[in-house]
């Protein structure tokens, strides 16, 4: 008797978790930024202040091989269907000017 009661509890627990996952439908990470302004970035000219004015505060900041790096990102993952993502990674020299940037998106 205890074994079947345990199986029923596990079944209903799993069903509730499944319903909750399906009802939430998606997970979002990061925040929206205006990707149309990416084309305005000029290597060697655009500054950290310019980038902040264009895109706001970065979602993440880091250092790669001694180079300051800012990341702007918006990632939406769905339980069913395609993910919707876009990110911009900007690298700066010691004077705070852009030395490179990469923009990627799943938008068509």
Q: Which residues contact 29 (CB under 8 A, 6 or more apart)?
A: 73, 74, 75, 76, 77
Q: What are the structure tokens assigned to 103, written together? A: 């923009």
Which residue ranges make up each domain of the chain?
A: 25-105
Q: Report whether pLDDT(2) > 60.
A: yes
pTM of the model: 0.72
Residue-level pLDDT at 17: 60
Q: What is the pLDDT of residues 30-59, one digit of tens each?
A: 889 999 999 999 999 999 999 999 999 999
With respect to CATH, is domain 25-105 assigned 3.40.50?
A: no
């Amino acid at each position: 008797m205890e074994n079947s009661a345990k199986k029923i509890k596990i079944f209903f627990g799993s069903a509730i978790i499944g319903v909750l996952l399906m009802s939430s439908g998606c997970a979002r990470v990061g925040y929206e930024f205006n990707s149309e302004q990416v084309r305005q970035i000029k290597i060697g000219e655009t500054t950290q202040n310019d980038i902040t004015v264009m895109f706001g505060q970065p979602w993440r900041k880091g250092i790669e091989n001694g180079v300051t790096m800012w990341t702007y990102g918006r990632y939406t993952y769905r339980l069913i269907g395609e993910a919707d993502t876009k990110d911009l990674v900007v690298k700066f020299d010691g004077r705070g000017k852009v030395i490179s940037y990469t923009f990627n998106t799943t938008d068509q």
